[in-house]
Amino acid sequence: MRVLIASSIDTQAIENMSAQHDVKCEFSPDQETLKSVVKDREVLIFRSGVDINSEVLACAPDLRLIIRAGCGLDNVDVEYARSKGIEMHTIPQPASYSVSEMTFALMLGLARRVLEADASRRAGRWQKNELKGHLLFNKTLGVIGAGNIGSRVGYLGHVWGMRVLGCVEHPSPERAAGLLKKGIELVDLDKVVSEADFLTLHVPKKESTLRLINSDVLARMKKGSFLVNIARGGVVDESALYKALTEGENLLGVALDVHEQEGEGKLSPFKDLTNVILTPHIGSMTVDTYKDMGNRIQNIFNDFVARSNGVAEQSKTAVCS
């Protein structure tokens, strides 16, 4: 099987697949490079940051399997892939643990002003009395997108002693009952936004979620609240957010793990604001997640190879008979 791995994944998984298959690695390629290296590939494995558009797919006539190592297919032209009969898989499960824990790391960093305290201490200052923070305990956690990751964030918030409100795109009594078992009350978006002390975002990037958090939503947020975007860049209108942070009164702090402009050399418009935490899309970047993801990639790949070989054997038998 001819495989292209276009993003960094677990090295053991690469070694295992390479032992029996033609595996080519070209991590984070630009579009022209990607179109060149994908030409003869049957399998494509990648994470976020790689744009698998129709032009790329058109360059890969033999492509039969796409594995997105993570959540969502927002960086894939899904309709084009389906039209070509390409099998597609995502692997959302491992990220639910790493991203949910990262969400709490960012919430705690904001609430306890960790970056400010660190910078102050490195400068030789001792601002113990000036760096008062906030508890998460007994606060309201608002989860926009209470799906695989968001519901785990909500569950952890419930365990932490927070009141948890969540919303989903397609609510139902069944979804409400399932979330309630995790300590999450299913409500509408307006209630989540207006009552949350900590508002966290866990939605996919698609037409309905682009600029979901805009100036109107930011204006309705609770005074003294915090916002964490660990979903996708573009879900938050960054121009409106900058204005809310510099001119408004509602937001105490913001953490952004994802950004409208991502990649080496891209400067964030929030880089000079001390009440903003900026991280480079590392929500799922843990050693444990990489290993788990690698194992799941191999399972999907091995199953596909076995099915492909089975079809080939059946065809061979049919021809021979």
* Tokens representing residue 98 in the block: 């790493």
Among 41, 47, 232, 259, the active-site one is 232
Degrees, nearest 5: CA angle 58-71-108 = 145
User: Rounded CA gap, 223 and 285, in Å?
Assistant: 32
Among the listed residues 47, 113, 152, 281, the single catalytic one is 281
Task: Put the strands of the sheet holding 65-68 in their side by side order.
Answer: 22-25, 2-5, 43-46, 65-68, 87-90
Per DSSP, the three-state class of 116 is helix
281 included as an active-site residue: yes
**Whose CA is closest to 283, among 104, 118, 162?**
104
Which pTM was predicted? 0.89
Domains of the chain: 2-90+287-307 (3.40.50.720), 94-274 (3.40.50.720)
Which one is catalytic: 116, 169, 195, 262? Answer: 262
Tokens encoding 45: 């494995």
Digitized pLDDT (tens) for each residue of the chain, 321 residues in all: 999 999 999 999 999 999 999 999 999 999 999 999 999 999 999 998 899 999 999 999 999 999 999 888 889 999 999 999 999 999 988 999 999 999 999 999 999 999 999 999 999 999 999 999 999 999 999 999 999 999 999 999 999 999 999 999 999 999 999 999 999 999 999 999 999 999 999 999 999 999 999 999 999 999 999 999 999 999 999 999 999 999 999 999 999 999 999 989 999 999 999 999 999 999 999 999 999 999 999 999 999 999 998 755 554 544 444
β-strand partners of 67: 45, 89
* Cα 53 from Cα 167, distance rounded (Å): 30
Active site residue 112: no
232 belongs to the catalytic site: yes
Contact 23, 17 (CB under 8 A): yes
50, 24 contact by CB (below 8 A) = no
